[in-house]
């Protein structure tokens, strides 16, 4: 049966557009999930959930990306390279700038922080929760994947005084033998045991034209069009896994606070619904896809909720009909990751995704048995109202963010 192009079949130009979109999609996960965490557990509960979520996922996926792109090391340069390909720091939206002093010392600052732009209107208490309470332990948790004696400490950070202060924040990163070694967070040990953390992906072809790894010097910006096609496929798959790992860590943090599994699953579905719809809309525009069944099939094929294929058991068939099968197997279902939250009684995340392509689309269950959940995408006469979960996620300035071409990357040498 005809199928839309899989990730590995996209052109280099398409992949170069897709990768930053996937990084931003991962960042929008919290914009989609945290409003519902606040409703259930309050602002302090949300703060603690976010801390545990990022401390669980970040050390795991940071190490995966280092290995995939061959830049493992124990210095500040390695830490900075990891930040550049991290859903916590999507390029330009979180405009990290770097200065590398030597192996054990560097600085970074944010000329623009999209997360701050989202939170600042909510008041100083929310800014402190994000820029102090959450960042302090989670920056260190990211650094510990590289060196247990690395410390990330603020030079200055919000709340901004004066209100228009730039850069939005600045930080020192220092590795010193006198620093007590930080342990790998307990949450990260649990996330490391998931199938998402251990899934094997296709290696990068070192003989393809373009960059195949990041073993060279740190550069000020990653221009993804400079990479090889197989490298971009691997990066896209790793970034999609970052989203799954973050969502699994989010669910784990919820379960630490309640025995009500239905509440946990409901919040997980609300998170997935919000991010699925908004990301589908952005992907359709970014890849210049049609707002019809063809476009919906193409979006489903590359949407981070349903990738990588080594992790998610999914089949997409497109003829004069669009039929999607979410299989009963696959590591994602065994982990209880996003695809497992979609079932015959809960199509809301799937409906939000296809309506991000065309608001007239929705899913209709054709079967739910040993072969998995089979859904046909059908077209209604009238557009559906946007889901509340998508509307909440749309409050993020990331919803309308536009990436720009910023020229040739410049190598950053130790000063």
Per-residue pLDDT of 97-123, as tens digits, reads 999 999 999 999 999 999 999 999 999
Instruction: Classify burial at 264, counting beta carbons within 10 Å of its beta carbon; exposed 0-12, middle 13-18, buried 19 or more.
Output: buried
Residues 390 and 286 in one domain: yes
Residues 231 and 291 in one domain: no
Residue whose tokens read 């079967």? 367
Measure the CA–CA gap between 383 and 355, rounded to whole angstroms. 8
Name the pLDDT band for 230 (thresholds 50, 70, 90): very high
Any domain includes 59? yes
Residue 1 in this model has a pLDDT that exceeds 60: no
Residues 141 and 97 in one domain: yes
- Which pairs from 287-293 meet CB under 8 Å and 24+ separation? 287/14, 287/17, 287/18, 289/357, 291/357, 291/358, 292/357, 292/358, 292/379, 293/318, 293/321, 293/322, 293/361, 293/377, 293/379
Residues 45 and 103 in one domain: yes
How many other C-beta atoms can be found within 10 angstroms of the C-beta atom of residue 224? 24
Residues 303 and 373 in one domain: yes
pLDDT at residue 219, as a whole number: 98
Tokens of 390: 């998508």
Name the pLDDT band for 48 (thresholds 50, 70, 90): very high
Residue 28 in this model has a pLDDT that exceeds 70: yes
Measure the CA–CA gap between 218 and 306, rounded to whole angstroms. 31
Encode burial over 94-124: b for 16+ CB neighbours within 10 A, e otherwise. Answer: bbbebbbeeebbbbbbbebbbbbebbbeeee
pLDDT at residue 309, as a whole number: 95
Residue whose tokens read 């859904």? 375
Q: Are 208 and 229 in contact (CB under 8 A)?
A: yes
pLDDT at residue 294, as a whole number: 96
Name the pLDDT band for 284 (thresholds 50, 70, 90): very high
Residues 341 and 218 in one domain: no
Q: What is the mean pLDDT of residues 164-189?
A: 96
Any domain includes 202? yes
Residues 298 and 222 in one domain: no
State CA 158 to chain mean position distance.
24
pLDDT at residue 329, as a whole number: 86
Q: What is the mean pLDDT of residues 306-316?
A: 96
Domain range for 348 is 273-400
Domain count, the chain: 2
Residue 341 in this model has a pLDDT that exceeds 70: yes
Residues 150 and 61 in one domain: yes
Residues 373 and 284 in one domain: yes
Name the pLDDT band for 331 (thresholds 50, 70, 90): very high
**Which tens digit of pLDDT belongs to each residue from 364-412?**
999 999 999 999 999 999 999 999 999 999 999 999 999 999 999 999 9
Any domain includes 119? yes
Q: What is the mean pLDDT of residues 262-291?
A: 98
Any domain includes 183? yes
How many other C-beta atoms can be found within 10 angstroms of the C-beta atom of residue 377? 24
Name the pLDDT band for 181 (thresholds 50, 70, 90): very high
Residues 291 and 225 in one domain: no
Collapsed DSSP state (helix, strand, coil) of residue 291 = coil
């Amino acid at each position: 049966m005809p199928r839309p192009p899989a990730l590995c079949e996209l052109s280099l130009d398409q992949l170069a557009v897709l990768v930053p979109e996937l990084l931003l999609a991962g960042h929008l996960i919290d914009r989609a999930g945290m409003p519902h965490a606040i409703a259930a557990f309050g602002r302090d509960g949300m703060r603690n959930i976010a801390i545990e979520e990022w401390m669980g996922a970040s050390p795991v996926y940071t190490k995966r990306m280092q290995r995939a792109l061959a830049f493992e090391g124990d210095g500040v340069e390695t830490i900075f390279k990891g930040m550049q390909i991290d859903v916590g720091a999507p390029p330009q939206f979180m405009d990290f700038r770097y200065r590398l002093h030597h192996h054990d010392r560097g600085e970074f600052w944010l000329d623009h922080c999209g997360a701050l732009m989202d939170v600042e209107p909510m008041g100083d208490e929310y800014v402190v929760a994000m820029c102090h309470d959450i960042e302090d332990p989670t920056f260190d948790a990211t650094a510990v994947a590289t060196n247990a004696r690395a410390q990330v400490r603020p030079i200055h950070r919000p709340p901004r005084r004066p209100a228009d202060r730039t850069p939005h924040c600045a930080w020192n990163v220092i590795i010193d033998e006198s620093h007590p070694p930080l342990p790998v967070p307990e949450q990260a040990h649990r996330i490391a045991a998931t199938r998402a953390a251990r899934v094997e992906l296709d290696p990068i072809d070192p003989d393809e034209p373009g960059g195949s790894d990041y073993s060279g010097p740190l550069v000020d910006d990653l221009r993804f069009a400079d990479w090889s096609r197989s490298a971009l496929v691997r990066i896209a798959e790793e970034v999609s896994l970052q989203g799954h790992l973050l969502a699994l860590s989010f669910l784990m943090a919820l379960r630490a606070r309640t025995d009500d599994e239905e509440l946990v699953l409901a919040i997980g579905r609300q998170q997935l619904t919000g991010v699925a719809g908004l990301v589908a809309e952005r992907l359709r525009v970014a890849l210049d896809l049609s707002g019809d069944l063809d476009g919906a099939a193409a979006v489903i094929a590359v949407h981070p909720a349903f990738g990588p294929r080594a992790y998610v058991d999914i089949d997409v068939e497109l003829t004069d009909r669009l039929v999607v099968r979410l299989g009963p197997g696959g590591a994602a279902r065994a982990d209880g990751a996003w695809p497992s939250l979609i079932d015959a009684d809960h199509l809301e995340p799937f409906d939000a995704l296809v309506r991000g392509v065309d608001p007239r689309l929705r899913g209709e269950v054709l079967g739910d048995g040993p072969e998995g959940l089979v859904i046909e995408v059908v077209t209604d006469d009238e557009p559906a109202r946007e889901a509340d979960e998508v509307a909440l996620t749309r409050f993020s300035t990331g919803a309308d963010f536009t990436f720009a071409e910023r020229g040739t990357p410049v190598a950053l040498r130790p000063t």
